[in-house]
Structure 1
Amino acid sequence: MTLAEFIGCTLISFGPPLAMFCIVVAKDPIRIIILISSSFFWLLSLLLSSILWAIVVPLKEHLVFGVTFSVIFQEIFRYLFYLLLRKAEFGLQKVSDVGTDGNAKVYNDRTQLAFVSGLGFGVISGAFSLINILADSAGPGTVGINGDSQYFFLCSALTSLAFILFNIFWSIILFYACDHRKKTLIAFVAITHLFATYITFLNPRQLYAVSIPLEYTLLVITCVIALKCAGFRYDRFRNLFIKNNDGDAL
């Protein structure tokens, strides 16, 4: 039973990101490099958060302090990675010009660059937040035997998935906001990141019925804004869907 729970929670949290990686990233070595580089930037933000946590001894007992500065450092390094990609655009374009696989468009499309970098941020953050929990879920033991919630592992996997997707959407929004100098969207990314993180403080109290719906409601809102920043138009999608259905009918 514990093995089944381990496999199920792993697929819930990392199944969709793995599918995104296989479909979008794995076929292009440059995208793989961008994903790994963005993951490294997230690790640097974690390093600075840990250093600050170790230095400021009086506030070690206040988790909200460490979490807040961790979010701030993550957004700073997300912006720094955006600047790095802007500086590297010319080099990426030169690399794409000598390729023959037809993937040159990705280096002119900042939305795709934002998607790949956000996926890198999300996967590494999800791995760090969930890997120990997944290891415990494999057993031995029985969930909830000491009065704890039997939904702990499931809700942890759902929360991890939410933050992986959050990071993708936040990167898309931030890249768009920086390109078009939309300060309100930059503030939106920082505020929603803080709010989504603070929601997780409900989990130790086993208020999963509150925290999970709140997380995914905020995720849907963030997704809609990210789609708008990426240039998604509902009318085009609807027309394409209708056209495909007509073709199937014929």
Structure 2
Amino acid sequence: MTAAVFFGCAFVAFGPALALYIFTIATEPLRIIFLIIGKSSEGLKSINPGEKAPSMRLLAYVSGLGFGIMSGVFSFVNTLSDSLGPGTVGIHGDPPQFFLNSAFMTLVIILLHMFWGIVFFDGCEKKKWYTLLAVLLTHLLVSALTFISPYSGLNLVLAYTILVLTGIWAFFVSGGSCRSLKLCLLCQDKDSLLFNQRSR
């Protein structure tokens, strides 16, 4: 049972981040370098002058995901190793879903760092200081939610609410629109959507 808990919680916490890494970062060596070292676009040009430097939005996404993965590993690795035993969670009145709740909270932290990175970079680029303040305050709020451990269901609901709102904000900041979301959900490109509208 301990191995099942270990692998289950590990995949809950790090599975989406691993999928994002495989499908959006692993194919480009420059993105992998930026994920690991987090240098600026000019620094990346000097590492590989022949390759085009990624856009600021892409750098924000990659660095946010990298920082989120590091944060998740540092915050969850000890808890994850404890899931292998020996011992039983809940024997002294603690919630028996401690490992699962911790895995879902780690997932929130990883994804939030990715969204915070996108919003924060945009705020710095456009000199919107209220954006930076909002990122800082939501970061402090989510960190404070981890103190509500006896009510772990409540802190997860609040953290996921902040995650959804920040994700929507990051989507529109990075150039998304309702139209592009519709194209994505319908698995269509722009030209085929225009053709379908004209043919009606």
Which category of TM-score, normalised to the shorter sequence, fits these structures? 0.7 to 0.9
Superposition TM-score, scaled by structure 1 size: 0.71
What amino acid does structure 2 have at the position aligned with 1:144? G
Is 1:183 aligned to 2:138, yes or no? no
User: 1:212 — aligned with what?
Assistant: 156
User: Structure 1 stretches (4+) deviating beyond 3 angstroms?
Assistant: 89-93, 239-247
Q: What displacement does 1:90 show? A: 4.8
Do the aligned residues in 2 keep the contact of 1:9 with 1:134 (CA within 8 Å)?
Answer: yes
Cα distance in 2 for residues equivalent to 1:176 and 1:35: 18
Q: List gaps (5 residues or longer) in structure 2.
A: 194-200
Cα distance in 2 for residues equivalent to 1:108 and 1:22: 17
1:145-156 to structure 2, matched below 5 A, reads: 145-156=91-102
Q: List gaps (5 residues or longer) in structure 1.
A: 39-83, 97-103
Q: 1:240 to 1:214 in 2, by over 3 A?
A: closer
Cα distance in 2 for residues equivalent to 1:89 and 1:181: 24
Q: 1:239 to 1:132 in 2, by over 3 A?
A: closer
Do the aligned residues in 1 keep the contact of 2:68 with 2:112 (CA within 8 Å)?
Answer: yes
Root mean square deviation of aligned Cα = 2.1
Cα distance in 2 for residues equivalent to 1:160 and 1:184: 27
1:84-233 to structure 2, matched below 5 A, reads: 84-88=39-43, 90-91=45-46, 94-96=49-51, 104=52, 107-203=53-149, 206-233=150-177
Number of matched pairs? 191
Superposition TM-score, scaled by structure 2 size: 0.88
Do the aligned residues in 2 keep the contact of 1:93 with 1:108 (CA within 8 Å)?
Answer: no
Give % identity.
Answer: 38
Q: Report Cα offsets for 1:102-159 as digits up to 9, x if no partner.
A: xx4xx34211111110111001110010000000001222221222110110110011
Instruction: Choose between structure 1 and 2: higher helix proportion.
Output: 1
